[in-house]
Amino acid sequence: MTDAEYMNIWMRPERPARGPKPAYSRAQITEAAVRIADAEGLEAATMRRIAAEIGAGAMSLYRYVPSRDDLVDLVADRLMAEIDLEGIPSGDWRADLTRYAEGVRAMWLRHPWIATVHRSRTSFGPNQLLLIERLMGVLDAFVSIDENLSLMAILNGYVEGAAREEVSRAEELRRSGLSESEWMARSGPRIHQLLESGEYPIFRKIVMEARQPHLSRDDQFRYGLERVLDCIAAALPSTAEPPVAAHREGQQDRDD
C-alpha cells in the first residue's frame, strides 16, 4: 500500500525529506546501466552488476528505484536525451525531420540493445515528452493534430523499423559471440540450401543484392527517408514550402 500508489517511476520523488544523505543517485545508476548495456547488452545489466559498477551493494539500488523495470524506464528516457533537438522546430520542416530521423538512427546504432526495451516502458518520461513536443511542433502550424500524428507515425515507423533492421544483425552477432565471418560460415549451409531449393527466387535476389550493395547503409537509410519526406510533403498545404531549396543536395529525383 505504500509503494503501489505510484503508477510509474516518474511520479515517485527521488529524494525524501529527512535522513542521511544518499550516497548515489538515479542518474548515476542509470548511467552505469547504460554503460554496461553498451558493453555487454541490456541483459547483462542485472541489479547486482549495476550495483557493483557503482561500488554499491545489490539491494542498495532499491532505495532509488522500485524495480528493475522502472530502472529500464529511466534508461530508455535517458537515451531519448541523446537525440539532439536544438533549434527544432526551426521553420524548415524538412531539415528538422531529417535531423530528427538521423539523430534517432544514430542513437539506435550507439545503443543497439534499445530494441529489447518495450514501447510501453517508454511513456511519459521528461525527455520522451520533450521529444514529442519538439517533433510534433515541426508540422503543428501546417496540419491538424490527427494529420500530424498520422504523418509522424509514418516517419517514426520508418525510422524505427530501419534502425531495428540494422541493429538486429549486430545484436545477433553479439549474443552468439561469433564474428561476422564465423556467422557467415555457419549460416552458409542454410542460405545455400534455401537458394538451391529454387523455391525462393526473390529471396535469392535479396541475397545477391546484399552481397554487392549499390548503396551504403547510410545512403539506403537516407534514400528511404527522402521518400517518406516526399510523402509528407504531398500531405502538406503549399504554404509549408521551405524558404530556400537548400536541402536534398545529394539526392536527385528517382527515375528507374
Partner DNA sequence: CATAACCGCGTACAACGTACCCAGTGGAGG
Partner DNA sequence: CCTCCACTGGGTACGTTGTACGCGGTTATG
Contact positions toward DNA, by CB under 7 A?
Answer: 15-24, 44, 46-49, 51, 55-60, 62-64, 67-69
**CA 242 to mean position of chain CA atoms:** 27
Q: Which of helix, strand or coil describes residue 124?
A: coil
> For DNA, which is the closer residue by CB, 46 or 220?
46
Which of residues 67, 150, 179, 251 is near its own copies by CB under 8 A? 150
102 touches its own copies by CB under 8 A: no
CB-wise, 234 or 244, nearer to its own copies?
Answer: 234
- Taking the complex as a whole, how short is the minimal distance between the CB of residue 95 and its own copies, in angstroms? 19
Cβ-in-10-Å burial (0-12, 13-18, 19+) of 28 comes to middle
**Whole-number minimum distance, CB 108 to its own copies, in Å?**
12
Among 103, 117, 127, which residue's Cα sits nearest to residue 27?
127
Chain centroid to Cα 82, Å, comes to: 10
Task: Count CB atoms within 10 A of the CB of residue 247.
Answer: 14
Q: Which residue has the cell 521529444?
A: 131
Distance between CA atoms of 189 and 230, rounded to whole angstroms? 41
Minimum Å gap between C-beta 177 and DNA is 14
- In whole angstroms, the minimum distance from the beta carbon of 35 to its own copies comes to 22
Under 8 Å between Cβ of 74 and 209: no
Q: Which is nearer to DNA, 17 or 234 (CB)?
A: 17
Give least dist CB 76 to DNA, A. 15
Q: What residues numbered 161-190 form the site for its own copies, per CB under 8 A? A: 161-162, 164-165, 168-169, 171-172, 175, 183, 186-187, 189-190
Interacting positions 186-205 with its own copies (CB under 8 A): 186-187, 189-191, 194, 199-203, 205
User: Is position 1 an interface residue for its own copies (rule: CB under 8 A)?
Assistant: no
Which of its own copies, DNA, none binds 179 (CB below 5-8 Å, type-dependent)? none
C-alpha triplet 68, 69, 71: angle, nearest 5°: 60
List the grid coordinates of 133.
513536443
